[in-house]
Amino acid sequence: MKPRMNLLLTAIIFSLLTASAWAGQPLPGSHQAAKEPKKHVQKHITIPFLPDLTPHLDVTVSKTGTDGQGNTCYTIQPSFSVLNKGVVPADNFRVKLTGRVFRPGEEEITWESPLVTLNPGSTKQWGPDQQWKIHCCVNRFQKENKMVGIQVLADSRDSLKESNEHNNLDRKRIDIHWYHGPIIH
């Protein structure tokens, strides 16, 4: 066999062994499979009656000016909302907003809401707010680029049990380039 084919077969066998180990089941035809009787496992699907908080983050970037020294400055302003997609109210949780320019000594914001309660299917909106503005400048003579990260976290103190604990975060990255300005990801 060619060396490439050997490598491919080895990778396939390793993948099967790994998948079998993770599933906790013996490989068909293996020594262990012959010894163990098959078990019937019944899985119950339950839909929990819990809240489900989902944040949504919007970012506005505005060019605020240039100077004769090659600096172009921008203001980045977040606004956000949280929706309760669950079937019961979400009582007494907090929402946290953080943002920063990823460069030592640059601007950073952190804000946490007072306690919030949301009924099923309802949304609460925050911002834009003066205190949440991030100012950032890049210099074209120095070919400077900067990155700004902003995120909103619903139930920031993890005080609620939710039907989906994996959708509480929304984030945006803003790349500000000296040659073409901001790009929001």
pLDDT tens-digit profile of 128-144? 887 889 999 999 999 99
In a domain? residue 45: no
Looking at residue 115, its amino acid is: L
**148 and 115: one domain?**
yes
As a whole number of angstroms, the distance between CA 134 and CA 141 comes to: 22
End-to-end CA distance of the chain: 47
**110 and 179: one domain?**
yes
Three-class SS state of 48: coil
**Which whole number is the average pLDDT over 28-46?**
54
Residue 17 pLDDT > 80? no
Residues near 10 by beta carbon (within 8 Å), at least 6 away in sequence: none
Give yes or no for a cis peptide into 128 (omega within 30° of 0): yes
- Per-residue pLDDT band at 39 (split at 50, 70, 90): low
Range of the domain at 144: 53-184
In a domain? residue 74: yes
- Per-residue pLDDT band at 97 (split at 50, 70, 90): very high
Total domains in the chain come to 2
As a whole number of angstroms, the distance between CA 59 and CA 82 comes to: 15
Please tell me the predicted confidence (pLDDT) of residue 180: 86
**Which whole number is the average pLDDT over 59-76?**
94
In a domain? residue 96: yes
Q: Report how far apart, in Å, the C-alpha atoms of 184 and of each of 22, 23, 80, 137, 165 are.
A: 38, 40, 15, 16, 26
Identify the CA nearest to 138 among candidates 67, 51, 90, 58.
Answer: 67
Q: Report how far apart, in Å, the C-alpha atoms of 113 and of each of 52, 120, 122, 127, 145 are.
A: 18, 19, 17, 12, 32
User: In whole numbers, what is the pLDDT of the chain averaged over residues?
Assistant: 83
Least confident residue range of 35-44, 73-82, 98-107, 154-163: 35-44
Q: pTM to 2 decimals?
A: 0.71
Please tell me the predicted confidence (pLDDT) of residue 106: 79
Give tens-digit pLDDT for 156-180.
999 999 999 999 999 999 999 998 8
